[in-house]
Amino acid sequence: MDPGLAWSFLGMGLFGQAVALALARRPFRLIRAGGRARGLFLDSEGERVSGAHGAARLTYFPTVEFRTARGETIIFASRVGGGRRPVAGAQVDVLYDPECPREAEIVTFQALWVFPVVTSVFSSPFLIVGLLGVFHRL
């Protein structure tokens, strides 16, 4: 493999892993902060989101209410939406930072981990090929 190409692959792989780590900072921070609560779905705002092939679909971003350990009532909109509207009044687990409870998120794999994992998985082949190419030359 051409050394320039190997270093390019290595650089893209390292960049992708750095982005994945940056995306994982928020869930790790919420877990470390230790705020956990049961919340209720209040409503969900539907938003038209364009798909990969140009077809727009309706995505629902749920609004959740929960009470902190200090007794403060917090209402927040999740940053992650889905194709189905959540049932109003349904209970959900919430992670939050007691110092900044408005920065809360619903406890689901999709809401917390899907972006860091997908970014890491898609950049891993570049990292592996780059490492193999660089170390093969040594």
Per DSSP, the three-state class of 118 is helix
Task: Give the chain's domain count.
Answer: 1
Residue 137 has pLDDT above 80, yes or no: no
At 70 the pLDDT is: 94
Residue 138 has pLDDT above 80, yes or no: no
Q: What is the pLDDT of residues 115-136, one digit of tens each?
A: 999 999 999 999 999 999 998 8
CA separation, residue 48 to residues 51, 63, 74, 91 (Å): 9, 17, 26, 25
8 Å CB contact between 41 and 90: yes
Q: What is the pLDDT of residues 4-61, one digit of tens each?
A: 999 999 999 999 999 999 999 999 999 999 999 999 999 887 787 776 676 778 888 8
Which residues contact residue 70 at a Cβ distance below 8 angstroms, ignoring those fewer than 6 apart? 98
pLDDT band of residue 102 (cuts 50, 70, 90) is: very high
The Cα 74–Cα 96 span in angstroms is: 10
Mean pLDDT of the region 74-100: 91
Residues spanned by the domain of 52: 3-137
Cross-strand bridge partners of residue 59: 47
Question: Roughly what angle, to the nearest 10 degrees, separates helices 3-33 and 114-137?
Answer: 150
Is the pLDDT higher at 93 or at 44? 93
Which residues contact residue 45 at a Cβ distance below 8 angstroms, ignoring those fewer than 6 apart? 60, 61, 63, 77
